[in-house]
């Protein structure tokens, strides 16, 4: 079975480009060109140089000695939290801004939830001197003031999405509407492995640098390229797509995707799409999606703003359906406790999204010889206020 | 013959009106349809509300959100329309996004439309390629006409393909925009209208997006078989209520 996208833009039953005709020319232009552009030597050279000198790659693969001892297994952490801007998100925005330039686009738009992708987009726009407009839900603008300020410092315009539930999905709708209204000069940098084909595949390819490095680094440290397990948190799923990418066809590597259970999978306040979602169409992609029986998209809940997307990338929907990946759901409480635990055990304050992934150590039993790689997708600076409020720090 | 095809043969310019079902009040749907017909509207697009309408501007989005808040569902809309053909003769089209139809079941949805006497569907986020491959046979089995959109950016080759798959009319989006964002037409739009008219497509064209009054209706129908008014009509309902339909339509035709 293939876990990669087919020529029609589908991963098994999921994916495609369910877009209004108004978007067709832009999406089609991208579909016809993305592989060609990204394969060019000049593109690869610029992309690799920026990842190295600007983002700070390769990020370390760190052997977490104290955690390993406590759980009696070998835990490695892929340190995406050390990337410039504090998370893996920038791998993708660097890639896409170079594509946008090759396509001759002069105006960049993006959506953001917690603000991490917005900051990563504003950063690369500043780097390239391009106009940047970031759509952000009105509710999120209030919740994430420091990231709004960062985007403004970087020269971006932050536009509030005031429709619907005024959060990430609505910010995405607004960005898509902007693209419909500006079909000639504008490029839309999507922040995750979601949206119409070719976005899920393109974003996964840019994030795939994560698993490419894990393979090389593990070979140096353990004399083998493949771990026994690779673990990542999934909202839309871009850090997970990157961490899984080069292991998808190596069936001996077990893949674990960690979703946000919120207050509990069946509490009515959750973002565990694989457990609660049904097949549907959101933002141009056929995927698993949290929705009412009438097909209205529902608002998910998680304490971490980066995981509360009502869908999941089509690649992940396929990994779930085909059982290639195991999906587990972790509550707010367990994730928050892991935020403290990782800080005290390894001296690393993780993003709350990332903290969900660590709870796998309590959920599953690993053997002493197992190599478990956890993708440490982002750092916790942006979440300090949430940590402070939650633990009365 | 499908009511849409019959209507398209009439020797006149057609006025089509879009509104969101369940707006402004949940039980206004049937009354609005009847009043539109009574006042000379040729065809109606009944909007099936969706939580995330990507191609719509603020006016239609807000009416859609309000309709959902009022309690509109696919099932309820079908119940409201169950006996609509006892009083209404003009073509009726359901316009909505793909996901609610997918959840209802595409075949079940089409079957229900046929039972009620719905003549066609407009589904902006169901692309023509996927329709042709996966759903065309079902739509045809139930005698439903599926209407596709074209825009100023649609290539001539793709327009030919859309024309070949269509069997009613082509919905010509007047400009690169979401609904309700323009009013009146400029030189570039007139050039586009003329370019499409000169293609001599087998399906007539009806122009939508940006038509709000008599002037823009007349301008659009110089080049096309008809025109669709959506946002301006909904705005009128919001401001002046359901009782204002006679005056709104009377100002245009």
Point out the catalytic residue in the list A74, A78, A89, A286.
A89
Q: Is the peptide bond before A198 cis (omega within 30 degrees of 0)?
A: yes
Residues of A in contact with B170 (CB under 8 A): none
Residues A126 and A94 in one domain: yes
Asked whether residue B6 is domain-assigned, the answer is no
Mutate to test the interface with A, among B60, B79, B99 (most CBs of A within 10 A): B99
A36 is catalytic: no
Quote the CA–CA distance of A225 and B71 in Å, as a whole number.
Answer: 55
Asked whether residue A246 is domain-assigned, the answer is yes
Mutate to test the interface with B, among A19, A20, A184 (most CBs of B within 10 A): A20
Asked whether the beta carbons of residue A294 and residue B61 sit closer than 8 angstroms, the reply is no
Asked whether residue B48 is domain-assigned, the answer is yes
**What is the chain B residue with the closest CA to A289?**
B99
Asked whether residue A6 is domain-assigned, the answer is no
Helix and strand tally (H, E) in chain A? 17, 14
**This prediction's pTM:** 0.96
B239 is catalytic: no
What's the pLDDT at B1?
Answer: 86
Dihedral pair phi/psi, residue A100, rounded to 5°: -60, -40
**pLDDT by residue (tens digit) across A225-282?**
999 999 999 999 999 999 999 999 999 999 999 999 999 999 999 999 999 999 999 9
Q: Is A24 on the interface with B (CB under 8 A)?
A: yes
Domain end (from A141, A175, A202): A202
Residues A268 and A290 in one domain: yes
User: What value of ipTM does the predicted structure carry?
Assistant: 0.94
Residues A331 and A387 in one domain: yes
What's the pLDDT at A154?
Answer: 98
Asked whether residue B2 is domain-assigned, the answer is no
Nearest CB among A22, A163, A279 relative to B55 is that of A22
Nearest-Cα distance to chain B for A279, in Å, is 8
Maximum separation of any 2 CA atoms in chain A, in Å:
56
What's the pLDDT at B183?
Answer: 65
**What is the chain A residue with the closest CA to B127?**
A18
Q: Report how many domains make up chain B.
A: 1
Q: Report how many domains make up chain A.
A: 2
Asked whether residue A4 is domain-assigned, the answer is no
**What CATH number does the domain containing A124 carry?**
3.40.50.1100
Asked whether residue B1 is domain-assigned, the answer is no
Q: Which residue has the tokens 């509710």?
A: A139
The tokens describing B126, both together, are 């169901």
Asked whether residue A154 is domain-assigned, the answer is yes
Domain end (from A165, A186, A202): A202
**pLDDT by residue (tens digit) across B154-166?**
999 999 999 999 9
Query: Within 13 Å, how many C-alpha atoms sit on residue A134's CB side?
Result: 34
Residues A377 and A284 in one domain: yes
Nearest CB among B50, B52, B176 relative to A183 is that of B176
Quote the CA–CA distance of B124 and A361 in Å, as a whole number.
Answer: 45
Asked whether residue A384 is domain-assigned, the answer is yes
Residues of A in contact with B106 (CB under 8 A): none
Residues of A in contact with B176 (CB under 8 A): 22, 180-184
CA distances to A283, A296, A361, B57, B180 from B62, in Å: 19, 15, 46, 9, 12
The tokens describing A170, both together, are 């609505």
Asked whether the beta carbons of residue B151 and residue A291 sit closer than 8 angstroms, the reply is no
User: What are the 10-residue block averages of pLDDT along chain B, 253 residues in total?
Assistant: 96 98 98 98 98 93 96 98 98 98 98 98 96 96 98 96 97 85 79 95 96 94 97 97 96 94
Interface of B with A in 106-165 (CB under 8 A): 124-128, 130, 148-151, 153-155, 158
**pLDDT by residue (tens digit) across A20-48?**
999 999 999 999 999 999 999 999 999 99
Residues A75 and A99 in one domain: no
Asked whether residue A5 is domain-assigned, the answer is no
Quote the CA–CA distance of A302 and A209 in Å, as a whole number.
Answer: 28
Q: Which residue has the tokens 């169901």?
A: B126
What's the pLDDT at A37?
Answer: 98
Q: Is A281 on the interface with B (CB under 8 A)?
A: yes
Asked whether residue A1 is domain-assigned, the answer is no
Residues A69 and A107 in one domain: no
pLDDT < 50 stretches in chain A: none
A89 is catalytic: yes
**A22 lies in which domain range?**
11-50+89-202
Asked whether residue B5 is domain-assigned, the answer is no
**What is the chain A residue with the closest CA to B182?**
A181
Residues A128 and A236 in one domain: no
**B88 lies in which domain range?**
14-250
Mutate to test the interface with B, among A14, A21, A175 (most CBs of B within 10 A): A21
Close Cβ partners of A45 (under 8 Å, ≥ 6 residues apart)? none
Contact A152, A158 (CB under 8 A): yes
Q: A240: closest CA among A269, A196, A273, A198?
A: A273
Residues A244 and A126 in one domain: no
Residues A240 and A335 in one domain: yes
The tokens describing A42, both together, are 């000049």
CA distances to A258, A313, A383, A390, B208 from A337, in Å: 16, 27, 13, 10, 55
Residue A345: Cβ within 10 Å count: 16
Contact B46, B19 (CB under 8 A): yes
């Amino acid at each position: 079975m293939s876990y990669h996208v087919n020529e029609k833009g589908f991963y098994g039953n999921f994916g495609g480009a369910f877009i209004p005709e108004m978007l067709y020319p832009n999406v089609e232009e991208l579909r016809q060109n993305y592989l060609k552009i990204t394969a060019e030597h000049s593109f690869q050279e610029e992309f690799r140089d920026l990842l190295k000198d600007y983002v700070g790659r390769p990020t370390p693969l760190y052997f977490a000695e104290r955690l390993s001892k406590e759980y009696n297994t070998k835990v490695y952490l892929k340190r995406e939290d050390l990337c410039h801007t504090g998370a893996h998100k920038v791998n993708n925005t660097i890639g896409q801004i170079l594509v946008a330039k090759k396509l001759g686009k002069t105006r960049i738009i993006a959506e953001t939830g917690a603000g991490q992708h917005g900051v990563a987009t504003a950063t690369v726009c500043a780097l390239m001197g391009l106009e940047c407009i970031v759509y952000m839900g009105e509710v999120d603008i209030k919740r994430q003031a420091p990231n709004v300020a960062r985007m403004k410092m970087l020269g971006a315009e932050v536009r509030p999405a005031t429709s619907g539930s005024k959060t990430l999905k609505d910010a995405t709708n607004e960005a898509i509407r902007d693209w419909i209204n500006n079909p000639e000069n504008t490029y839309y940098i999507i922040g995750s492995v979601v949206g119409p084909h070719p976005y899920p595949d393109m974003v996964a390819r840019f994030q795939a640098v994560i698993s490419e490095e894990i393979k090389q680094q593990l070979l140096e440290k353990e004399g083998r390229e493949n771990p026994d397990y690779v673990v990542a948190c999934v909202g839309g799923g871009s850090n997970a797509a990157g961490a899984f990418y080069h292991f998808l066809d190596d069936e001996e590597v077990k893949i674990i995707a960690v979703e946000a259970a919120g207050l509990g999978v069946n509490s009515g306040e959750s973002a565990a799409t694989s457990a609660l979602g049904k097949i549907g169409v959101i933002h141009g992609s056929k995927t698993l999606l949290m929705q009412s029986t009438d097909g209205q998209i529902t608002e998910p809940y998680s304490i971490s703003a980066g995981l509360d997307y009502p869908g999941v990338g089509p690649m992940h929907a396929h990994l779930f359906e085909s059982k290639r990946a195991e999906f587990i759901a972790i509550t707010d409480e367990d994730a928050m406790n892991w935020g403290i635990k990782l800080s005290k055990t390894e001296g690393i304050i993780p993003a709350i999204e990332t903290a969900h992934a660590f709870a796998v150590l309590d959920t599953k039993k690993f053997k002493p010889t197992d190599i478990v790689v956890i993708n440490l997708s982002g750092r916790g600076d942006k979440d300090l206020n949430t940590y402070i409020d939650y633990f009365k720090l | 013959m499908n009511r849409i095809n019959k209507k398209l043969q009439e020797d006149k310019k057609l006025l089509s009106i879009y509104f969101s079902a369940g707006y402004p009040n949940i039980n206004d749907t049937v009354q609005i349809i009847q009043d539109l017909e009574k006042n000379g509207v040729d065809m109606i697009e009944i909007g099936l509300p969706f939580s995330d309408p990507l191609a719509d501007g603020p006016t239609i989005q807000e009416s859609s959100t309000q309709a959902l808040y009022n309690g509109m569902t696919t099932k309820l809309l079908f119940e409201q329309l169950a006996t609509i053909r006892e009083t209404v003769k003009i073509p009726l089209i359901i316009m909505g996004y793909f996901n609610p139809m997918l959840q209802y079941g595409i075949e079940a949805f089409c079957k229900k439309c046929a039972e009620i006497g719905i003549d066609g569907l407009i589904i902006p986020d169901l692309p023509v390629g996927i329709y042709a491959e996966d759903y065309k046979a079902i739509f045809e089995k139930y005698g439903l006409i599926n209407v596709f959109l074209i825009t100023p950016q649609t290539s001539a080759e793709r327009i030919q393909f859309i024309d070949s798959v269509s069997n009613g009319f082509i919905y010509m989006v007047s400009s690169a925009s979401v609904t309700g964002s323009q009013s009146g037409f400029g030189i570039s739009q007139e050039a586009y209208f003329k370019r499409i008219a000169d293609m001599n497509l087998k399906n007539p064209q009806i122009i939508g997006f940006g038509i709000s009054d008599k002037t823009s209706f007349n301008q659009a129908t110089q080049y096309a078989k008809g025109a669709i008014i959506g946002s301006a009509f909904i705005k009128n309902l919001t401001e002046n209520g359901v009782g204002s339909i006679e005056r709104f339509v009377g100002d245009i035709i």
